[in-house]
Structure formats: C-alpha cells, structure tokens
Chains A and B, each alone.
Chain A
C-alpha cells in the first residue's frame, strides 16, 4: 500500500551543522506532503507542508521541496540549534481523510 519512508535515526549533530532528513513516499495520486515535529514531552505540531509538485514548504529555517520525479520530500536546515532537538515525522495524505506517517527520526543537537 501507500507508504512513507524516512531515514533511520537517531541523528546526532553539532550546533550549526547542516541537516538533511530524507523522506520518500509511494502514492497512486498526488498527495500533499508534511513534516511534523514532536518536541520532548509534547504532541506533534506541523512544521511545514507542500501541496503540489515543486512547491517548497518552509518554517523556522527548515525547508522541504516536493519532488514528484523522485517521490521525495527531504527536510533541510542550514544551521541547526540545540532547540531543534526533537523527533521529526514525514507524512502524506491518503484519500480525503487520513494521513500516513513515516516512522519518525530522532534528532539530537549537541552544543
């Protein structure tokens, strides 16, 4: 069935490093794509989204571009901070009602 695959974690980086978290999806149509973030002890919150091919979502210095040709939506940030430590989930819409989530990638940023 349709799915979302994220790069395995955990990922550990030093402050100010460049971040990429890979996400690929399978889909029969043209889903909308999302990155959600879960800070320690909290629920998920939307980080960014893109609704069609070549759209770029951005928020808080994070970016992701909807690549239909490679069925990817990789998350990037040029200079990470300790406060970016969290679990990141890639997701896609399924039909009109549901979201399908990847397994999550735990990111730890060391000072």
Chain B
C-alpha cells in the first residue's frame, strides 16, 4: 500500500523561527511535491523535485526552500517563518511514469 508520511500533524512556531517540514514516501517514487492549502484557494504548488538533489520552483516559492538528499525524503524549509505562512502543508509523491499523486496527511502550521 502506498504510504506518504509527514513528520508532524500540527506545529506552532514563532515569527522568525526556522521551520522544517519533513515528508517521507516508501514507494520509491522519483517525484515529490510540496503544496500549501488555504480556504478558497485550493492547493498551490510551492516546490517539486523530480530526482535526488533536483528541485524546481512551483507557483509560490517565495519564503520557502527545499532539500532532497535521499530519494524517499523531501523537506520543506521556512527560513524565517512569517504569519502569512500559517497554512496546511501537503506533501505528495508520484512515480516518474505515472500521473497520480499520492498525498500525506498534511501538517497544519500556525505561525504566531
């Protein structure tokens, strides 16, 4: 069974803190994605990675960076958290030859 896990379900951080969100998939997928989900805006792509150490900006990369040192793990980094980064963050993965993305349960981040 397909499994994407995220390190935390809920996170509370202070403005200016560095925040790490971790995502792990056990399906040997090449592609991994980070989205944020906000009411009325759907899912917006922050970054994605199509291979180890490879990354591409999505639609809203400002204020974020990513790291993919191993195939199964894709990290989202908020260098200096701000209140407008309060959101639900969703990680997904996809096999290189497929179209279906498989999602983790999400991390709800609150920045105070």
Contact = CB atoms under 8 A, between A and B. Distances in A.
Nearest to A104: B42
Interface in B91-111: 92, 99-106
Contacts of B33: 98
B43 interface: yes
A89 B43 contact: yes
B42 A44 contact: no
A99 B35 CA distance: 11
Interface string A85-105: 000010001000111011110
A32 interface: yes
Contact of A101 (B42, B48, B106): B42
Band of interface residues on B: 20 to 34
Interface string B44-57: 11001010000010
B4 interface: yes
A101 B43 contact: yes
B42 A43 contact: no
B31 interface: yes
Interface of B: 4, 31, 33, 40-45, 48, 50, 56, 58, 90, 92, 99-106
Interface of A: 4, 32, 34, 36, 41-46, 49, 51, 89, 93, 97-99, 101-104
Given A4-B42, A93-B99, A99-B45, 9 more contacts: A32-B99, A42-B106, A44-B90, A44-B92, A97-B31, A99-B101, A101-B44, A102-B42, A103-B41
